[in-house]
Amino acid sequence: MQTPYELFTKNFVESINNNIFLEPAAKIYPGQTGLGKSHYQDTEMPVDLKAAFPDLKYIIRLSPTREVSDDGTFNNVKQLGKFRYLGNPAPEVLDVTEDNEEIVYCISITHNYFLLNFDRLFKYAENSVLCIEEAHQFVGCADEGRGAYLINSGYSSEYTAETWKRIKEWMEVNPRVIGFTATPTEHHKNNPLLSSGKYEVIGDLVPLKDILPHQKWLNKVNNPYHYQKNNGAPSVRAAVENSIDVLFERELKLEKLLLKDPNINPKLAGYYVCGDFRGVWGCPIDEVRNIMSEYLLSIGFDESTQMIATMVEAGNTVWSLNGEGEKVEKASDVFDRLEDPNDPVRFLLVINRGRSGINVHNFTVNVVCRIRDPKEIRTPIPIQIFGRNVRINVGTGSIIREKYQNNIGKYLANYFNDYGIHPQTVIDTIKVSNIFDIWYPENPKAKRTWQDSLDEFKKKYVNSAKDGYEFLYNQTGVQKPPIIEFLPFDLEIERECNGEMVKYNVSKEFKEWRVDGTLDKFFNIKEGV
């Protein structure tokens, strides 16, 4: 049986060998986060493109941000034969590539670089393939104007479609333009209110059950917390602190399992989406960092410990708990530090960054610290944010990627014997390491963007921890432990909040109660809007 990755790549190869580029429309290939789209671009796609297009000289990959363009894709193409990676080249570097007719040059640049150097790049269009990574951004809409932007994104904004205009000009010379995304946009899907013929979606998302062995599973979506306008820090504090507790509780479990399996890396990480400095409908990133630092200090960490990283448009910084910051040039270095078992950095805070191009396997908590309130609900960006959490982490680092093709099924079939580890230990490890939780805000005056996006995310993009656990026991034959319910009944009560009667499931609250000697959890209801 073919894996989802194999089916995706087979569909891609068949399509590029099927005269699909006779018409100047960008070909969009959808695939869930973690499916292996970037891996394919790095390891197989150059060879497949050269076989389909013998005249190919340049593969030019466009990305929305530097962290995506510098994510390592094309680093290994030299191993494929007559391919060379130029990275994000200075403009003059391109002028010398014509000297070697046999070499295919792989270039990874941002959309901004593409626009600034278009005239110099354009002369290479005839012998190229233009590959658009994260195609829902920048080129998600081909029509200019506020109306088109609203239909596509949900927000009303001046939109000039500058990147698309250049791509259209490019396709008039060479229509070999392809795009990859987990979240096709309204325009990609040919919304009848937008112009037709600009995009063609090739294939579909993989059925959810088929990607279960290839992703991390959603454990719990904590009840949405109330976000009070202009009051970000008090609104998010409980969610941030609770997420830290969850992370360290899981690390402690993995540290105990480490005694049974020396390959285990207990370190886990958290991902936090913050608001801008205005703090109206989002908690500013510095305030989230201060909440986090105060709490980490209160539970015993030293003030000099670098535990928090921030990514903003101005750059990347790693922070000590005393507020001292150290600049980090490359986003990839931040990601490496988050996964490094010997580095204390555990928490990534972002503003308008990190919605794509993040390749961190040990995320286990995700806290959204801002309200999203478009004129029309659109789900791609929130789904992309949630999707940062789904990369596999079976608890033993890169072993699953290096030896078992990033497939939990193959891992379960071989790891026990290969490393002499008891199956129960392996199952217990995966049940802790390969799950993540989400916290998100709500406010009655804002649209249910996060909730609606989460509903779609669970429907099309991520499997539940419950289904993941069933898979573990079915694959190994290990007997599943009995389920013991705390309360033998389902009790629901109502309480007034903001002039409305709100229902609370007492049984559920009991199950989630941390037994701290109080009943604060039951009555911690935020008042006001």
SS3 letters for 80-105? HCCEEEEECCCHHHHHHHHHCCCCEE
How far apart CA 76 and CA 85 sit, in angstroms, is 8
- One domain for residues 231 and 374: yes
Give 110-134 pLDDT, tens digit per residue.
999 999 999 989 988 999 999 999 9
How far apart CA 359 and CA 286 sit, in angstroms, is 24
**Dihedral angle computed from the Cα positions of residues 411, 413, 414 and 415, in that order, rounded to the nearest 10 degrees:** 50
Q: Residue 514: pLDDT band by 50, 70, 90 thresholds? A: very low
Q: What is the mean pLDDT of residues 1-26?
A: 92
Q: Provide the H-helix boundaries in 17-145.
A: 37-43, 45-52, 66-69, 111-116, 118-122
**Structural domain containing residue 403:** 210-475
**Dihedral angle computed from the Cα positions of residues 301, 302, 307 and 308, in that order, rounded to the nearest 10 degrees:** 100
- One domain for residues 169 and 222: no
- One domain for residues 393 and 252: yes
The continuous run of DSSP H or E covering 516 comes out as none
- One domain for residues 29 and 60: yes
Q: How far is CA 2 from CA 11, 211, 468, in A?
A: 12, 11, 20
How far apart CA 227 and CA 234 sit, in angstroms, is 9
**Number of folded domains that form the chain:** 3
Give 295-336 pLDDT, tens digit per residue.
999 999 999 999 999 999 889 999 999 999 999 998 889 999
Candidate from 100-104, 202-206, 402-406 with smallest mean pLDDT: 100-104
Q: How far is CA 114 from CA 107, 119, 144, 165, in A?
A: 11, 9, 19, 12
The pLDDT mean for the chain works out to 89
Q: Check if the beta carbon of residue 358 is closer than 8 Å to that of residue 297.
A: no
3-state SS class at 282: strand
What residue type is 46 in one-letter code? P
The pLDDT value recorded for residue 374 is 87
Burial class (CB in 10 A: 0-12, 13-18, 19+), 373: middle
- One domain for residues 257 and 404: yes
Determine how many CB atoms are found less than 10 A away from the CB of residue 146. 12
Q: Provide the H-helix boundaries in 200-299.
A: 232-258, 285-298
Place of tokens 């005239």: 119
Of 172, 188, 206, the position where a domain reaches its end is 206
Q: Are strands 435-439 and 325-328 parallel, antiparallel or unpaired?
A: unpaired
- One domain for residues 384 and 329: yes
Give the domain CATH number at 161: 3.40.50.300
Question: 262-300: b or e for each residue (b if 16 or more CB lie within 10 Å)?
Answer: eebbbbbbbbbbbbbeebebbbbbebbbebbbebbeeee
Sheet with 325-328: list strands edge to edge.
217-221, 435-439, 363-368, 269-273, 347-350, 306-312, 315-320, 325-328
- One domain for residues 350 and 426: yes
- One domain for residues 104 and 238: no
Of 148, 171, 206, the position where a domain reaches its end is 206
How far apart CA 234 and CA 249 sit, in angstroms, is 24
Of 184, 206, 228, the position where a domain reaches its end is 206
Q: What are phi and psi of 471, to 5 degrees?
A: -60, -45
For the chain, the maximum distance between any two Cα atoms, rounded to a whole number of angstroms, is: 77
How far apart CA 10 and CA 470 sit, in angstroms, is 29
The pLDDT value recorded for residue 2 is 85
- One domain for residues 468 and 489: no
| More confidently predicted of 261 and 138 | 261
- One domain for residues 67 and 168: yes
* pTM given for the model: 0.87
The pLDDT value recorded for residue 516 is 42
> What is the full DSSP assignment across 468-485?
HHHHHHHHH-PPPPPP--
Q: What are phi and psi of 490, to 5 degrees?
A: -110, 110
- One domain for residues 337 and 372: yes
Give 52-72 pLDDT, tens digit per residue.
999 999 999 999 988 888 888
3-state SS class at 325: strand
- One domain for residues 155 and 232: no
What residue type is 166 in one-letter code? R
Q: Check if the beta carbon of residue 148 is closer than 8 Å to that of residue 194.
A: yes
| More confidently predicted of 201 and 510 | 201
How far apart CA 20 and CA 12 sit, in angstroms, is 11
**Is 237's pLDDT higher than 90?**
yes
Burial class (CB in 10 A: 0-12, 13-18, 19+), 371: buried
